Amino acid sequence: MAKRFDIKDLNIYYGKFHAVSSVNLAVPPRNVTAFIGPSGCGKSTVLRSLNRMHEVAPGARVEGKVLLDGEDIYASTVDPVEVRRTIGMVFQRPNPFPTMSIRDNVVAGLKLAGVKNKKKLDEVAERSLRGANLWNEVKDRLDRPGGGLSGGQQQRLCIARAIAVQPDVLLMDEPCSALDPISTLAIEDLITELKKDFTIVIVTHNMQQAARVSDQTAFFNLLGVGQPGQLIEVDDTEKIFSNPSQKATEDYISGRFG
Amino acid sequence: MTDNVTGSSPPARSTGRRRGDGIFRSMTTGSSLVIVVSIGLIGLFLLIQAVPSLQANTINFFTSAEWSTGDVGNLAFGIRDLLVVTVLSSLLALAIAMPIAMGIALFLTHYLPPKIAQPFAYVIDLLAAVPSIVFGLWGAKVLGPSLEPIATFLNENLSWIPLFSDGNVSLSGGGNIFTAGIVLAIMILPIITAVSREVFRQTPAMQIEGALALGATRWEMIRTTVLPFGRSGYIAGSMLGLGRALGETVAVLIILRSASSSSTFSFFDGGYTFASKIASAAPEFSEPLSTGAYIAAGLVLFVFTFAVNALARYIAGRGKAKAS
């Protein structure tokens, strides 16, 4: 649980298109790392390469290493399905399984892993929903479909689903961009609580959000149209937002572009 | 004055537009009414033509298997066997075609790369363009005889199941419901596949990603997202296929051997479906009362097919409401 990532010389391609160029980055455990940068700079692509989800797109491939506690998740012996079982992911739009009940949504990952004991599943469902600050709102309707909840509740349901399997790392791809400010606040509070137990990497377009929730911030940028995205700078969040070492970072966070 | 003119011109234009709207609206309403009215008139025609014969019928129309319409003074016709043969052959077709169509649709949408899937899909659609007379000839001359050993095997070993017990025609040549059902299955495969393919393809990408990110294998992803999402569309497509199978005429007419005794509720029966019975007698439709007997059979098929299609629409509509 709560492992660290070491990304070494990571290059990502979609077919012939070079999407991201030589990223080197360390993600410490029990820590929130934020990826910021303009649209198309490759931050989501890097995030998706951390649990091998980018491979779902045809023609996608990577060069370089992504070490999870020293083990390369791209080693030829590693099954991407196993990687995704140990690294949770929360998406931009809440995506609970609409035909499944709230409870079944939460334990979907465990069921895929072969857990059948009903008592155990119920325990995990409750613990995960409590962990996602959703238990009190849904405890009376665990058998109702997950699609009936509000957007913010659905997103917390997806977080509960992701943490139910006790992942090594939790990846969040702009988890609040489809939510209203109140729900966003609820998720941000939740992230702060979750980092006690999990390593979290979050992509966000909202710089205030990065400043509020993260310990470490990585700024990605595009050098030009058609050029690969690059990691410009990574540092403590406080330093990035007060005294960045690169001019491009300063221009971006002060709103001069992007 | 100028102001006055420009002031009055917009309303004039807008009434013009409204007239255009009105014309367009009556055109579309009219076109849709044509459909409803023709279906109503067809039903009415069938009913009017059938009633005198039904009144002259000397035996029970629904429960008897006899069919003699030669003597107008002594009409005796019942649809029991027609119903049995129609339903058995169509259900067999559905039981074979449904799993295969699901397999093809899933393969095309979630296994094959899109570039190869497209031409493959055309081939399946091409199957729908083969004339049913060709299917009939193939079924009667090629498939039927080559199925004979399989039919014999099933009959010998599974005859304790009523569906596989001895039928009312000889097994040789394969002119039975077993052959007809398989040919019908091939004929309805394209429609079921096409509808299923469409709904499976529309599974939201974020659902699929959600399942994969949880560590689902491809099959587990399909089971947790694609199948629940596409279920109602798949069932509706199958019902459309069933509608086709129920009404298929010429292929069944060529394949099925006529039987001298009544149906034994077995796959190895011969006989007629509603449609093939009517087609077989078409050259002799001169006497209104005997023709009316066939029209009565047609009316039952009409209502039956209509009900199946209505059920399909209902299921599809319910699924849509749930998905949104």
Residues B152 and B21 grouped into a single domain: no
A91 in contact with chain B, both atoms CB, cutoff 8 A: yes
Q: Can you give the residue range of the structural domain that contains B42?
A: 2-56
Query: Which residues of chain A neighbour B220 with C-beta distances below 8 Å?
Result: 112
Name the pLDDT band for B7 (thresholds 50, 70, 90): very low
Q: What phi and psi, each to the nearest 5 degrees, are found at residue A163?
A: -85, -10
Query: What pLDDT, on a 0 to 100 scale, did the predictor assign at position A258?
Result: 56
Residue A5: CB atoms within 10 A of its CB come to: 22
Please determine, for residue B9, whether its predicted confidence score (pLDDT) is greater than 60. no
Exposure class string for B250-273: b at 16+ Cβ within 10 A, else e: bbbbbbbbebeebbbbbbbbbbbb
Residues B39 and B127 grouped into a single domain: no
Name the pLDDT band for B322 (thresholds 50, 70, 90): low
Show the 3-state SS of chain B: CHHHHHHHHHHHHHHHHHHHHHHHHHHHHHHHHHHHHHHHHHHHHHHHHHHHHHHHCCCCCCCCCCEECCCHHHCEECCHHHHHHHHHHHHHHHHHHHHHHHHHHHHHHHHCCHHHHHHHHHHHHHHHHCCHHHHHHHHHHHHHHHHHHHHHHHHHHCCCCHHHCCCCCCCHHHCCHHHHHHHHHHHHHHHHHHHHHHHHHCCCHHHHHHHHHCCCCHHHHHHHHHHHHHHHHHHHHHHHHHHHHHHCCHHHHHHCCCCCCCCCCCCCCCCCCHHHHHHHHHHHCCCHHHHHHHHHHHHHHHHHHHHHHHHHHHHHHHHHHHHC
Burial classification of residue B136, based on how many CB atoms lie within 10 Å of its CB (0-12 exposed, 13-18 middle, 19 or more buried): buried
Residues B290 and B154 grouped into a single domain: yes
For residues B111 and B109, give the distance between their C-alpha atoms in angstroms, rounded to a whole number.
6
A99 in contact with chain B, both atoms CB, cutoff 8 A: yes
Query: Which residues of chain A neighbour B110 with C-beta distances below 8 Å?
Result: none
CB contact under 8 A, B214 and A91: no
Query: Which residues of chain A neighbour B211 with C-beta distances below 8 Å?
Result: 97, 108
For residues B150 and A4, give the distance between their C-alpha atoms in angstroms, rounded to a whole number.
62
Query: Which residues of chain A neighbour B214 with C-beta distances below 8 Å?
Result: 84-85, 108-109, 112, 161-162, 165
Q: What phi and psi, each to the nearest 5 degrees, are found at residue A171?
A: -100, 135
Torsion angle, CA of B130/B132/B135/B137, rounded to 10 degrees? -130
Residues B293 and B168 grouped into a single domain: yes
CB contact under 8 A, B224 and A108: yes
A84 in contact with chain B, both atoms CB, cutoff 8 A: yes
B221 in contact with chain A, both atoms CB, cutoff 8 A: no
Coil/strand/helix, residue A188: helix
Please determine, for residue B18, whether its predicted confidence score (pLDDT) is greater than 60. yes
Residues A60-84: pLDDT tens digits?
899 999 999 989 999 989 999 999 9
Query: Residue B182 falls within a domain, yes or no?
Result: yes
Query: Residue B69 falls within a domain, yes or no?
Result: no
Per the document, the length of chain A is 258
B209 in contact with chain A, both atoms CB, cutoff 8 A: yes
Query: Residue B149 falls within a domain, yes or no?
Result: yes
Q: Average pLDDT in the A206-216 region?
A: 92
For residues B203 and B225, give the distance between their C-alpha atoms in angstroms, rounded to a whole number.
7
Residues B172 and B274 grouped into a single domain: yes
B212 in contact with chain A, both atoms CB, cutoff 8 A: yes
Residues B34 and B91 grouped into a single domain: no
Q: Which CATH architecture has domain A5-94+169-253?
A: 3-Layer(aba) Sandwich (3.40)
For residues B156 and B160, give the distance between their C-alpha atoms in angstroms, rounded to a whole number.
9
CA distance A257 to chain B (A): 30
Please determine, for residue B259, whether its predicted confidence score (pLDDT) is greater than 90. no
Residue among B207, B213, B216 whose CB faces A89 most closely = B213
Query: What pLDDT, on a 0 to 100 scale, did the predictor assign at position A7?
Result: 93
Q: Closest Cα partner for A35 from A154, A207, A197, A160?
A: A207
Query: What pLDDT, on a 0 to 100 scale, did the predictor assign at position B1?
Result: 42
As a whole number, the mean pLDDT across chain B is 89
For residues B302 and B274, give the distance between their C-alpha atoms in angstroms, rounded to a whole number.
10
Q: Average pLDDT in the B256-267 region?
A: 90
Residues B161-181: pLDDT tens digits?
999 998 888 888 889 999 999
The CATH code of the domain that includes B218 is: 1.10.3720.10
Please determine, for residue B16, whether its predicted confidence score (pLDDT) is greater than 80. no
CB contact under 8 A, B215 and A113: yes
- CB neighbours of A43 closer than 8 A, spacing ≥ 6? A35, A36, A37, A203, A218, A220, A229
* Tokens matching residue B190: 């394209």
Query: Which residues of chain A neighbour B228 with C-beta distances below 8 Å?
Result: 97-100
Does residue B64 contact residue B46 with C-beta atoms inside 8 Å? no
Residues B22 and B93 grouped into a single domain: no
For residues A126 and B211, give the distance between their C-alpha atoms in angstroms, rounded to a whole number.
21
Residues B188 and B318 grouped into a single domain: yes
For residues B282 and B239, give the distance between their C-alpha atoms in angstroms, rounded to a whole number.
28
DSSP A57-125: STTEEEEEEEEETTEETTSTT--HHHHHHHEEEE-SS----TTSBHHHHHTHHHHHTT---HHHHHHHH
Q: Average pLDDT in the A93-113 region?
A: 92
Does residue B145 contact residue B236 with C-beta atoms inside 8 Å? no
Residue of B209, B214, B234, B318 to mutate, testing the A interface (most A Cβ within 10 Å of its Cβ): B214
Q: Average pLDDT in the B297-302 region?
A: 94
What is the tally of structural domains in chain B?
Answer: 2
